[in-house]
A and B are shown apart, each in its own frame.
Chain A
Amino acid sequence: MTTVVERILRRAERVPATVAITHVTPKGATDITWGEFADSLFRWGGVLKDLEGSKGRPVLIFLPHSHEMYFAYFGAMAGGLIPSYMPLPSAKQEPGYYWASHRTLVDRIKPAAIIAPDEIREDMVKAGIGIPAERILTPGGIEALAKPVDAAGREAMLAAIGPEDIALLQHTSGTTGLKKGVALSHGAIILQSEAYSKSIDLDESGTIVSWLPLYHDMGLIACLMGTVLTGNRLVNMDPFHWLNRPGRLFELAQTHGGSHIWLPNFAFDHLVNTVRKPEKFDLSGIKAFVSCSEVSRPQTARRFVQHFEPAGVTAGQCAVSYAMAETVFAVTQTPMGRPFKACTVPMGELGPGDRVRFMDEGAEDSRELMSCGPVLPGVTVRIVDPERNEVEDGVVGEVEIQAPFLFSGYFALPEKTAEKLRDGKYYSSDLGFKHDGEIFILGRADDMVILNGKNIFANEVEQSLQQIEGLKPGRIVATGVDDARLGSQRLVVMAELKEDVVEDRQAAISDEVSEKVSREFGVDVADVWLVPLGALHKTTSGKISRHKNREYYVANRRDDEHARI
């Protein structure tokens, strides 16, 4: 067994002049060869390794889309540290507040260093991110200290890390202080890659084209690690560039002979909504557009195939994976070349213990669910009830996963780890069922809302709104509501007003809710519905029911009352 860094080095020794990464910015594209990649990551690794007490400690990387983001990450790994890509604040987040909110996380995981550009470094120091200023390193500062590492030096660095060591942390979304760092070993990452690449027909002749952020598992593992470990080429766009010019992704795929593209469901819809001349592309050479990270919707796949038919797209290119950071990445994959497969079930939500009633396609009051395919070889998925007993096929339960490539735990959170990882099994909190040997995923058993691929915990949003003047504490619901046009969910907040709130104040309260959520979570609230005291639905035990209130919202909120749903 080897390590991720050793894989890069051996590839660089074999084909130093071959392109590993084509880095794309709005200004143009630049290539990084395997030789340059290895040279730079060892130079950076040398600097990070020499930081006192850095071995085995995390490094938080807050870098914009740049060559340095690759060198910092794999350099940290080569130096025996544990890198983690972190998101930069959105335009709507106030930098001072954003950096100060990292203090709890920094105190818990005690990173050896943070790597950030000069302009951000200053904000971090001013806000008090919780690490001495001299340990907030800039790319320029590292480059000034970096020296070439010769062959013997590289082998010595490789010898200091092993397959059981933690290679990286993937931090979950949500409130910064509560983020959990999913710790993955070199061995787990390599084993998952070997199982997965076979299932998607990905080898060193492939080209992955991506716009996905690297702090997200699909961008980091499927795309960046997909290239690093299978030795193919990554064409990597800036996520913001893609959002502004979605069609560029397909131009790049065409120019560079793209073979694989991963997209969350909303991105398929975004491409349909914005690429107005599909006939100018030839996408027939793409082996797979893999839908992942959000619940995949058959309607979206159908729209995508129909819209891009003039570009040569067929249903057989639309693949689906079910993946999560805790299993490195995918645990299921639909067979390559097979058109996507859906089943038809009655309208309405399916909950744990419900037996799925299958209907004919197009039946009245029905909805469709997409198959995520069979599980990868070596993986066992069981659908279980709350007592962890396996339920029959066609019955809804929690998805339990056993695989040779599970995570090592949540970094510095032993209690959280024990909750989710028991007896070599990972309890996913996802609800799903088995049917015809394939896995169907319905959504979350907990309170997660997935907005355009970004995970937000509803309970954290509700908690953050408790102190808003005029709202009744404990009488607030945040929930996700499906938006078919977007192919994703929209965040909706329903809140009870205190009795003494005059009507004139309501608009200001709504604005305060929207601004607070935007500042703290970096997402927009699509609608704030302020309701009279006692109007929200409760469970029999008197708790506010998110599920019932969501149903009430969908059935009763009128289009003319709000802007966006």
Chain B
Amino acid sequence: MSTPGFEELQKVLAKILDVSPDEVKKTSVAKDFKNWDSISHSSIVLDIEDAFDVEFDDEEIFSFTDVGHIYDTVMKKLGAAG
């Protein structure tokens, strides 16, 4: 089942985490991926910001430990912008 914008988020995360896009699910958490650690977190955030042309608050980034929450935040920002 596709959700608007989710496929793009899957692609961005899959590239940086070096996994296939279908391994990235809304229920996935950082711990599910070997390449998602405290060092790569900032690059993940930057890639998502670039891909969706959004900017997260510094506080928001601390709570980005699961894909579903990141997706919801991106969508909220895009909705607010539109």
Contact = CB atoms under 8 A, between A and B. Distances in A.
> Is B truly associated with A?
yes
B41 A273 contact: no
A530 B38 CA distance: 26
Contacts of A244: 41-42, 45, 58, 61-62
Interface in B9-52: 18, 31, 34-35, 37-39, 41-43, 45-46
Given A92-B31, A276-B46, A243 B41 contact: yes
A524 B37 contact: yes
A494 B13 CA distance: 29
Contacts of B61: 26, 244-245
B39 A563 contact: no
Contact of A273 (B34, B37, B43): B43
Contacts, number: 44
Contacts of A26: 57-59, 61-62
B35 A563 contact: yes
Main secondary structure of the interface of A (DSSP, over half): loop
A9 to B, nearest CB: 35
A516 to B, nearest CB: 15
Interface string B51-82: 00000011101100100000000000000000
Interface string A232-253: 0000000011011110100000
Contact of A274 (B35, B43, B57, B65): B43
Given A273-B43, A274-B42, A276-B46, A245 B58 contact: yes
Given A26-B62, A245-B61, A563 B34 contact: yes
Contacts of B45: 244
Interface in A81-118: 91-92
B39 A243 contact: yes
Contacts of B65: 91
A506 interface: no
A276 B46 CA distance: 9
A563 B41 contact: no
Given A92-B31, A244-B41, A563-B18, A274 B59 contact: no
Contacts of A243: 38-39, 41-42
Nearest to B30: A91
Contacts of B59: 26-27
13 contacts: A26-B57, A26-B58, A26-B62, A92-B31, A241-B58, A243-B39, A244-B42, A270-B42, A273-B43, A486-B39, A524-B34, A563-B34, A563-B35
Given A241-B62, A244-B41, A274-B43, 15 more contacts: A26-B58, A26-B59, A26-B61, A26-B62, A27-B59, A241-B58, A243-B42, A244-B61, A246-B42, A248-B58, A273-B43, A274-B46, A452-B39, A524-B34, A524-B37
